[in-house]
């Protein structure tokens, strides 16, 4: 890893630029600071300054993250929640964002469309294996097992294999 030492003033300028390009989490900023050799109280002061000046906002970041991963990557709630907890966000904050976002989208239809598209690419004749592959695909995308199973059942039973 290429470690470059920066002063806190230089780091603040770079972080302002870094955070103004797209939403960043405290986790992302701490990684940058660590690469620049800034840790501890100095790092916390810089993070506080970024929060005060509006360059970072955890609520804004979470909403942006959920939107991006749902609409562009087609991730499900399980995978999004897991990745947000890895980034250090509290469960209560994540739940609040989920409660605000997911009622506004057709979650099950998105899962159904993804599984139907996957089904069209499968060359498996056996229904059981086909369902297993679809459920496995759904779980790898972060969809709940119950919803993946229900959608896989609908797809296989409807003979929508083309």
Residue 76 in contact with residue 141, Cβ under 8 Å? yes
Q: What is the largest CA-CA distance in the chain?
A: 63
Residue 162 lies in a domain: no
pLDDT tens figures, 80-100: 999 999 999 999 999 999 999
Within a domain: residue 62? Answer: yes
Please indicate, yes or no, whether residues 48 and 63 belong to a single structural domain of this protein.
Answer: no
- Whether the predicted pLDDT of 138 surpasses 80: yes
Residue 149: inside a domain, yes or no? Answer: yes
Band of pLDDT at residue 26, cut at 50, 70 and 90? very high
- Residues 94-134: pLDDT tens digits? 999 999 999 999 999 999 999 999 999 998 888 899 999 99
Looking at the fold, whether 25 and 40 belong to one and the same domain comes out as: yes
Are the C-beta atoms of 26 and 18 separated by less than 8 Å? no
Does some domain include residue 28?
A: yes
Residue 161: the pLDDT is 44
- The verdict on 116 and 147 lying in the same domain is yes
Is residue 22 assigned to a domain? yes
The pTM score is 0.85
Residue 8 has what pLDDT?
A: 83
Give the mean model confidence (pLDDT) for residues 6-29.
90
Q: What is the pLDDT of residues 1-15, one digit of tens each?
A: 556 788 888 889 999
Pick 159 or 72 by higher pLDDT.
Answer: 72
pLDDT at residue 159 tops 70: no
Residues 114 and 148 in one domain: yes
Instruction: Please give the residue that has the higher pLDDT: either 8 or 160.
Output: 8
List the Cα angle 61/141/112 in 5-degree steps. 110
Query: Is residue 35 a contact partner of residue 56, using CB atoms and an 8 Å limit?
Result: no
Residue 1 lies in a domain: no
Q: In the chain, how many domains are there?
A: 3
Assigned token pair, 137: 């695909």
Q: Is residue 132 located within the same domain as residue 144?
A: yes
User: Which residue range(s) make up the domain with 151?
Assistant: 107-157
The answer for residues whose C-beta is within 8 angstroms of residue 44's C-beta and 6 or more apart is none
């Amino acid at each position: 890893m290429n470690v470059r030492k920066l002063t806190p003033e230089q780091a603040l300028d770079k972080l302002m630029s870094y955070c103004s390009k797209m939403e960043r989490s405290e986790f992302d900023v701490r990684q940058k600071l660590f690469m620049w050799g800034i840790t501890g109280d100095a790092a916390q002061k810089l993070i506080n300054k970024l929060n005060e000046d509006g360059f970072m906002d955890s609520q804004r970041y979470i909403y942006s993250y959920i939107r991006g991963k749902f609409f562009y990557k087609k991730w499900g709630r399980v995978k999004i929640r897991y990745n947000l907890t890895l980034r250090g966000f509290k469960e209560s904050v994540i739940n609040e964002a989920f409660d605000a976002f997911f009622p506004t989208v057709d979650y099950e239809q998105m899962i159904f469309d993804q599984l139907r598209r996957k089904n069209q690419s499968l060359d498996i004749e056996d229904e059981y294996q086909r369902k297993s592959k679809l459920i496995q695909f759904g779980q790898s995308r972060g969809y709940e097992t119950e919803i993946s199973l229900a959608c896989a059942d609908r797809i296989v039973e409807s003979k929508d294999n083309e």
